[in-house]
Structure 1
Amino acid sequence: MIIQDGIKIYPHLDWESKIWLSEGTMVAKGTASNGIQYRDNAFKPLKPWRSANETEREILLGQEGEDEPDLNSVINIVKLPDHVIEELKEYKLQNINSKFKFKHYKALYGEKLDQSIIGLNTYLKTLLIEGQPVPPPSFAFNQPNLETVTVYLKFNALGGLHIDNFDGFDIGQTEHAGRRMCINLGAEVRHLLFINQPINTMIEWMKTKKTVVKEYSQWNLYNDFMRYFSEYPVVKIPIQPYEAYIAPTENMIHEGCTEGTTHYDVSLSYRGAFKNTCPKPVLNSHAY
């Protein structure tokens, strides 16, 4: 199925990277390399991955002359400032491989790390809509070489591609939800997986497949969408160390990926009122 216009990527000035597309989605079954099983009705990208062609890149990337979309249809890719990177490098956060080890680490370096987070927050203020507070940070640790990384603790199972609902909005109100900023603090590239259609568009598409579209929850919607539109591609974009994505994760199907890595994945996330950090399209964002 050909990718359609939808959520746009607005990267930083130096971003030059391939964009990958899957053959669609599939039900994820069995156990991943971390020994954790997928929950029932979990989905993951259908391989193989292929590089997006020029036409597909034009559909996915913000283009000169286009009207800037609503924030709930914008994905930004940002790079931390050099002075923030140098300070964070001192802590060797990529050596942390569990929440338990992180607690031990904080006992040794917590005060200095907290000061670095405060410094990072100063930078974050430049990314937020004016007057909005800096949201609290949240660390996450994932094993390497996983097709999908999100574990549902309630079931101790991998959830696969999903839509967030941290803000508790009903399915028709997700345009009011904040966007998520996820910073890669690990040693290797991690990937953001997403389907480039916002919730409202997915609901409209479902009306072409079902006589009656029920009152969807986030779970019902992404479950139905990936069953009825299983040939629609998943987009995969790399997030290099000390880069971050800012994405409307409560308004799109998405997931993280560490496939191909050998080191633990360490990330720092914030959810808040982030603006479009690159409203003018980056004309030199081409595949390397």
Structure 2
Amino acid sequence: MKTKPPSGSPGNRLDTLTALVHTLGDPLPVTLGETCDAPGLPVTHLSPDSGLRPGLHVDGHQNLPYGAIDSARRRLCVNLGPGSRYLLLADTDIKSIRRTVHDRYESHHPRTADLRLYVTLRRPLQVLRLRVDPGEGWFAPTAVLPYDESTEGQELPSATSSWFGHWDRGVFGPLI
């Protein structure tokens, strides 16, 4: 269930984040907007077509073919709070999955359906669960790496703001 963003969220915080996004190198980042998720959700992505929560998925907004998927925009997502959340990130990229489940993979567009088939065939897939506290964020190629978010085990709702952009690798230094 989606909830309203936390009351009292300072508007200038989003203005500051938007200004930061514009300094990362893409002159035309795509604002994906804000969401607010109730606590206790195993996955947060809500499919607009069905109203269901499909779980791990790849972003298909850019509708890129197999050969161009590495050039897809990357997603920046910031947790606005008040609660924490988790990034769920698969250890296998959609191109590898596509090659495993289809013979003629080069001429097609990798989709979440490929991930479903991969799992149905009982191919190995591990998922990392990374905690993202309020004020923290993540930066990932979500057209390539299957992902979702979760508020499972949390007591407070968690709002996010997200953008797509063509940002160079190395904009931020190494995290480890």
The answer to whether the 8 Å contact 2:80/2:159 transfers is: yes
- CA distance in 1: counterparts of 2:50 and 2:146, whole angstroms: 20
Q: Map 1:95-114; keep pairs closer than 5 Å.
A: 97-98=3-4, 113=11
Structure 2 vs 1, CA of residues 216 and 272 (structure 1 numbering), >3 Å: closer, same or farther? closer
TM-score (norm 2): 0.82
Determine helix, strand or coil for the equivalent of 1:119: helix
CA pair 216-176 structure 1, distance change in 2 beyond 3 A: closer
Give 5+ residue unaligned stretches, structure 1.
1-33, 35-95
Give how far 1:176 is off: 1.9
State how 1:1-288 maps to structure 2 within 5 Å.
Answer: 97-98=3-4, 113=11, 115-126=12-23, 128-129=24-25, 132-206=27-101, 212-213=103-104, 215=108, 217-275=110-168, 276-279=170-173, 281-282=174-175, 285=176
> C-alpha distance in 2, partners of 1:199/1:172?
12
* Structure (1 or 2) with the greater helix fraction: 1
Q: Relative to structure 1, is the Cα distance of residues 239 and 224 closer, same or farther in structure 2, using a 3 angstrom cutoff?
A: same
- Cα 1:173–1:229 shift into 2, 3 Å: farther
CA 1:230–1:263 in 2, change beyond 3 Å: closer, same or farther? farther
Larger radius of gyration: 1
Q: Which moved more, 1:213-222 or 1:161-170?
A: 213-222
**Deviation (angstroms), 1:136:** 2.5
Find the residue that maps to 2:82 and give its secondary structure. Answer: coil
User: Match of 1:253, as an amino acid?
Assistant: P
The answer to whether the Cα contact below 8 Å between 1:193 and 1:235 also exists between their aligned partners in 2 is: yes
Give the secondary structure class of the aligned counterpart of 2:113.
helix
**How many pairs does the alignment contain?**
173
The 2-side partners of 1:219 and 1:268 are apart by 23
Residues in 2 aligned to 1:168 and 1:151: alpha-carbon distance in whole angstroms:
19
1:118, CA displacement in angstroms? 3.1
1:153 positional shift: 2.5
- Under a length normalisation based on structure 1, what TM-score does the superposition of the two structures give? 0.53
Change (3 A) 1:274 1:229: farther
One-letter amino acid of the counterpart of residue 123, structure 1: L
Instruction: Give how far 1:137 is off.
Output: 4.7
Structure 2: gaps (5+ residues):
none
Matched residues in 2 for 1:162 and 1:119: separation?
29
Shift, 1:166, TM fit: 1.1
* Residues 30 and 165, structure 2, Cα contact 8 Å, conserved in 1: yes
CA distance in 1, matches of 2:171, 2:152: 28
Question: RMSD value over aligned CA atoms?
Answer: 2.7
